[in-house]
Chain A
Amino acid sequence: MKLLLHLAWRNIWRQWRRNSLIMIAVAIGVFSMILYDALLRGWQLSAIEDTVNNMSGHMKIHAQGYVDDPSVYHSFKLTKDLKLSLDQNQQIKMWTGRINVPAVVVSERETRGVSLIGIDPKTEEKISFVGGVKLEGKMLDDTNSSGVVIGKKMAEQLETRLGKRIVIMTQGKDKQLKEIGLKIIGIYDTGVEALETSFAFISRNKAQKLLGLDDSVTEVSIRVNDGVGLESAKLGLGLNINTKTLDIQTWKELNRQMAIFTEFAEYNIWIWHFIMLIALAFGLVNTLLTAFYERIREFGLFQALGMKPAMILKQVLIESWLLVTLGLLLGFVFGAIGLELLSDGIDLTAFADGLDKMGFRKVWIPIYLWQDSVSIVVMILLLGVFASMFPAWRAVKMDPVEALNKH
């Protein structure tokens, strides 16, 4: 074995020019796979994170019927039992209860539709983007605070500003139109227009009073612990709550479009790996075959001297493996350098408007997951076997006498 390795190593450097080229080809292939994976993963993970941050959490509990008709009529009480089962669930990291109903905001000059969100600021800030968002003014302090917090774009559209009053109109539980005039105490700036025009935040108690809801909420938003699968968390929670009146949706069910988008990323990674593999296979097979024909006399001599065909086969295979492994290592070095260079991310501000639709952030930061490299390594090693099959097959069929005489 040691002898074979030794031989293979020397053979590779015997034709250093040709073999380095193949190694570089493999390395560029590996490099492109690493970068492609990292860019896709970076997008995928940030898109998921933003979707989760954007009010949906990892999952939500609603009253049955809320999803079809998101209104005040489908609310539910935050009972002691419910709170207890949420608090005690090992898979759940955090949860918050909210009110989320459609409303109309009216300023002195303009009128806009909005989702009115009644929040408990203490727990909300750990669940959604409300936590770390850039603010002019301040956030609501607690569940009793008065005032309203709206988005920057919304404030522009309403032609209003911090400290002014706006009127919020919505339907109460008694089916009457309710109105409340509130001072704008905070204006949030996420840089994403859709987020800045969608929500108006008030404190939960104020919302409950306005709508006549007592201590009910319309949704509970949940973040699960790291590493907990969505489906298992959903199943686990389902056992603890009354699923006759309540239902649970993961973010994938709430935002199916984004769920499918992000799942496409997985396929994309495989497709790219596969294409690269085919592109590399042509070059590798060609090089190895040529190398074999050039040395057919040498192999004949080996056989004539008593080397078994199996050994020759091994030698061809080891040479091929050594070649792709060196290319693989070089590719990882390239990849690491590439990732390092891109660690600050790619500035996409020029495409800002197209971004939020596709779940991109303004700066696209690649994220490399090391598990993706498993498929690269396995594929490349298989490629090594595949490419050496042709010369190996020739080697086995070869007649040493003929090889020595004819070549």
Chain B
Amino acid sequence: MKLALQIAWRNLWRNKRRTLLTASAIMFAVALLTFSMSMQNGSYSSMIDNATRLLQGHIQIQHKDYFDSPKMRYTVKDSSSVVDLVHSIPQIIVTERASSFVLASSETQSFGLMLLGVNPTKEQSISNLPKLVKKGRYLEDQNADEIVIGQILAKKLGVDIGGELVLLGTDKEGSLATLIMEVVGIFDSGQNELDRQLAQIPLNVFRENFSLNDESHMLVLSIDDVTKTKEVAAQLSDMLKPREDLAVLPWGELLPGLEQSIQLDQIGADLVYFILALVVVFSIVNTFIMTILERNKEFGVMLSVGSRPGLIIAMLQVEALFLCLLGVVLGTVLGLVITLYLESVGIGLGEAGEMMKEFHMPERLYPKLDVYALVASPILMVVATQLAAIIPALRVLRIDPVKIMRDE
């Protein structure tokens, strides 16, 4: 075996130019795969982060029917005991919210909006919205009749800080709820939908006016590591088994659109990687064929001095492996260098970046090194080159040493 390895290594350098060219092709493929997978990884994490940070949280606990039909009566009962239960899992932040659709009127205008009752202190550790208050301040007092609204809504209603809004809604019992609130803050989330129709008031005030006891419509959870969402959600479901009226919704279910866009993109990307690997393999399989055909005589000699065909085939496969590893090592290094460099400086997006900024999203794209890519692309290339090499290598079995040596 050691002999086969040595011979294979030497053979590789018999034709330096060809070896280097072929290895470069593999290097190119591996570097490209490492980089694009990391690129994907980075954009997915920032998509998830952006979507969950603003308002949604990573996981929510709701009444099991609330998600499909958000009605006042579908509440999480004994909300505070559920909060305590959630707190038994370390490194998790949780806040309660109640929600209703109301009609808001200023002196001159009326618009429908989505009203959230929130816990002002806890909300700040889960959602980015409090930080996006551009005018005035976020809610502070748990019991004050104060409201923060989106900037488009403020403009439409014609109110400013200190202005008064009358909210009309229906409470849990079905009777009319009327609230008079002072506008203390105006936020600019960059998402028109939120800026147009979202408003927040303290949860206690909400409960009082909408006849809710120790109830909420959603418990919003934020966890340390978003990749652990599924496990934490499963753990919570387990703990909440006795509460059949509740459902645990990870972000993938809260934002099915986001999860499915990621899946769709992933499938598309995998297909692209496969095609790229295929083209590269077809480009380099020639090298193997040429190498083998050229060396018919050499194989004839080896066979006649007693090498078994198996040894020759093994030698050829090892040659292919060395060649591939050479490309893989160079490619991984190149891919790492590019990825890590861009991970630190980001990729500018030009005009699109300006738009991202408007939406409060990072205006540069940051790849995030994907460990999976570091393993997957070398394996893909090794398997592909071994397959590409075995077909011409099997020709060795058909060589008749006597005939070959006489012909040449």
A22 touches B (CB below 8 Å): yes
Q: When the two chains form their complex, are residues B110 and A282 in contact, meaning their CB atoms are under 8 A apart?
A: no
Q: When the two chains form their complex, are residues A275 and B276 in contact, meaning their CB atoms are under 8 A apart?
A: yes
Q: When the two chains form their complex, are residues A290 and B290 in contact, meaning their CB atoms are under 8 A apart?
A: yes
In B262-289, the 8 Å CB interface with A consists of 262-264, 272, 275-276, 278-280, 282-287, 289
Q: How many residues of B contact A (CB 8 A)?
A: 53
Of the listed stretches B17-25, B79-87, B239-247, B303-311, name the one at the interface; the rest are far from the partner chain: B17-25
Write out, one digit per residue, whether chain A residues 271-282 have a CB within 8 A of any chain B CB (1) or not (0). Answer: 010011011101
Q: A111-B103, A260-B352 are in contact. Are A286 and B22 (CB under 8 A)?
A: yes
Closest CB in chain A relative to B326 CB, distance in Å: 14
Q: When the two chains form their complex, are residues A22 and B286 in contact, meaning their CB atoms are under 8 A apart?
A: yes
**DSSP majority for the A interface?**
helix
Q: A114: nearest residue on chain B (CB-CB)? A: B112
In A31-53, the 8 Å CB interface with B consists of 32, 36
Of the listed stretches A78-86, A209-217, A352-360, name the one at the interface; the rest are far from the partner chain: A352-360
Q: When the two chains form their complex, are residues A354 and B264 in contact, meaning their CB atoms are under 8 A apart?
A: yes
**DSSP majority for the B interface?**
helix
> Residues of B contacting A71 with CB < 8 Å?
156
Q: A279-B279, A280-B279 are in contact. Are A169 and B110 (CB under 8 A)?
A: yes
> Residues of B contacting A353 with CB < 8 Å?
256-257, 259-260
Q: A68-B155, A69-B156 are in contact. Are A282 and B260 (CB under 8 A)?
A: no
Q: A18-B289, A279-B279, A354-B259 are in contact. Are A264 and B32 (CB under 8 A)?
A: no
Query: In the complex, A32 Cα to B268 Cα: how many Å?
Result: 12
Q: B359: nearest residue on chain A (CB-CB)? A: A257
Q: When the two chains form their complex, are residues B352 and A264 in contact, meaning their CB atoms are under 8 A apart?
A: yes
> Residues of B contacting A279 with CB < 8 Å?
25, 28-29, 276, 279-280, 283
Q: Which listed residue (B101, B109, B279, B286) contacts A286, Cβ 8 A? A: B286
A28 touches B (CB below 8 Å): yes
> Residues of A contacting B260 with CB < 8 Å?
350-355
Q: A353: nearest residue on chain B (CB-CB)? A: B256
Query: In the complex, A322 Cα to B222 Cα: how many Å?
Result: 61
Q: Which listed residue (B18, B259, B282) contacts A290, Cβ 8 A? A: B18
Q: A21: nearest residue on chain B (CB-CB)? A: B286
> Residues of A contacting B261 with CB < 8 Å?
351, 354, 357-358
Q: When the two chains form their complex, are residues B352 and A25 in contact, meaning their CB atoms are under 8 A apart?
A: no
Write out, one digit per residue, whether chain A residues 241-285 have a CB within 8 A of any chain B CB (1) or not (0). Answer: 000000000000000110010001000000010011011101111
B108 touches A (CB below 8 Å): yes
B258 touches A (CB below 8 Å): yes
Query: In the complex, A279 Cα to B384 Cα: how many Å?
Result: 15
Q: A25-B282, A71-B156, A358-B261 are in contact. Are A17 and B22 (CB under 8 A)?
A: no
Closest CB in chain A relative to B327 CB, distance in Å: 10
> Residues of A contacting B113 with CB < 8 Å?
113
Q: When the two chains form their complex, are residues A282 and B283 in contact, meaning their CB atoms are under 8 A apart?
A: yes
Closest CB in chain A relative to B164 CB, distance in Å: 17
For the A-B complex, the count of residue pairs with Cβ-Cβ distances under 8 Å equals: 145
B41 touches A (CB below 8 Å): no
> Residues of A contacting B286 with CB < 8 Å?
18, 21-22, 283, 286-287, 290
Q: When the two chains form their complex, are residues A275 and B32 in contact, meaning their CB atoms are under 8 A apart?
A: yes
B180 touches A (CB below 8 Å): no
Q: A19: nearest residue on chain B (CB-CB)? A: B286
> Residues of B contacting A290 with CB < 8 Å?
18, 286, 290
Q: When the two chains form their complex, are residues A175 and B170 in contact, meaning their CB atoms are under 8 A apart?
A: no
Query: In the complex, A29 Cα to B262 Cα: how many Å?
Result: 26
Q: When the two chains form their complex, are residues B109 and A169 in contact, meaning their CB atoms are under 8 A apart?
A: no
Q: A283: nearest residue on chain B (CB-CB)? A: B283
Q: When the two chains form their complex, are residues A286 and B263 in contact, meaning their CB atoms are under 8 A apart?
A: no
Residue of A32, A103, A289 most packed against chain B (CB within 10 A): A32
Q: A68-B155, A282-B28 are in contact. Are A171 and B109 (CB under 8 A)?
A: yes
Q: When the two chains form their complex, are residues A348 and B264 in contact, meaning their CB atoms are under 8 A apart?
A: yes
Closest CB in chain B relative to A252 CB, distance in Å: 12
Query: In the complex, A69 Cα to B195 Cα: how many Å?
Result: 13
Query: In the complex, A348 Cα to B265 Cα: how many Å?
Result: 12
Query: In the complex, A103 Cα to B156 Cα: how many Å?
Result: 12
Closest CB in chain B relative to A46 CB, distance in Å: 15
> Residues of B contacting A256 with CB < 8 Å?
355
> Residues of B contacting A24 with CB < 8 Å?
282
Closest CB in chain A relative to B259 CB, distance in Å: 7
Closest CB in chain A relative to B285 CB, distance in Å: 6
B91 touches A (CB below 8 Å): no
> Residues of A contacting B103 with CB < 8 Å?
104, 111, 169
Q: B100: nearest residue on chain A (CB-CB)? A: A111
> Residues of A contacting B13 with CB < 8 Å?
none
12 additional A-B pairs beyond A275-B276, A283-B280, A354-B257, beta carbons within 8 Å, are A32-B279, A36-B272, A111-B101, A111-B112, A113-B101, A278-B28, A279-B279, A286-B25, A351-B263, A353-B259, A354-B261, A355-B264
What are the 8 tightest A-B residue pairs by CB atom distance, in nearest-first order? A283-B283, A354-B260, A282-B25, A25-B282, A113-B112, A354-B261, A353-B256, A104-B112
A-B contact pairs, 28 of them (CB 8 A): A17-B289, A22-B283, A32-B279, A104-B111, A104-B112, A113-B101, A169-B103, A169-B110, A171-B110, A256-B355, A260-B351, A275-B32, A278-B28, A279-B283, A282-B22, A282-B28, A283-B280, A284-B283, A286-B287, A287-B286, A289-B17, A290-B18, A290-B290, A355-B260, A355-B264, A356-B257, A358-B261, A358-B264
